[in-house]
Amino acid sequence: MSYTLWIILTGCLVGITCGMSGVLLLLKKMSMIADAISHTVLLGIVGAFFVSQSLNGLPMLIGAAVVGLATAFFVESLHRSGIQSDAAIGVVFTSFFALGVVLISFIGDQVHLDTKHALMGEIAFVPWDTLQINGESYGPVAVWMLGIVLILNLTLIAAFYKEMKISTFDPQYAKLIGVPVVLVHYLLMGMVSLSTVASFDSVGAILVVAMLIVPGATAYLLTDRFLTLLLLSGIVGIFSAIIGYGAAVYWNVSIAGAMASATGLLFMVAFLFSPKHGWLMKKVKQRRLAAGS
Nearest to 115 by CA among 107, 123, 104, 125: 104
Decide whether 61 or 89 has the Cβ nearer to other proteins: 89
Q: How far apart are CA 274 and CA 269, in angstroms?
A: 7
CB neighbours of residue 138 within 10 Å: 11
* Shortest reach from residue 259's CB to other proteins, in Å: 8
Decide whether 61 or 262 has the Cβ nearer to other proteins: 262
Show the DSSP H helices in 108-225 as ranges. 115-120, 141-159, 161-169, 171-176, 181-220
* Shortest reach from residue 110's CB to other proteins, in Å: 12
Binding span for other proteins by CB under 8 A among 5-13, 49-57, 126-134, 162-170 = 162-170
Distances (CA, A) of 285 to 161, 225, 226, 268, 276: 35, 22, 25, 19, 10
Q: Does 225 bind other proteins (CB under 8 A)?
A: yes
Q: Does 14 bind other proteins (CB under 8 A)?
A: no
Letters for 37-56 (x = contact with other proteins by CB under 8 A, - = none) are --------------------
Query: Residues 250 to 279: which contact other proteins by CB under 8 A?
Result: 251-254, 256-261, 263-264, 267, 271, 277, 279
SS3 category, 138: strand
Q: Please pick, from the candidates 207, 235, 236, 238, the single residue that binds other proteins as defined by CB under 8 A.
A: 207
Q: Please pick, from the candidates 4, 53, 56, 84, the single residue that binds other proteins as defined by CB under 8 A.
A: 84
Decide whether 239 or 267 has the Cβ nearer to other proteins: 267
DSSP readout, 210-258? Answer: HHHHHHHHHHHTT-S-HHHHHHHHHHHHHHHHHHHHHHHHHHT--HHHH
Q: Please pick, from the candidates 34, 67, 194, 235, the single residue that binds other proteins as defined by CB under 8 A.
A: 34
Letters for 121-160 (x = contact with other proteins by CB under 8 A, - = none) are --------------------------------------x-
66 with 46: CB under 8 angstroms? no
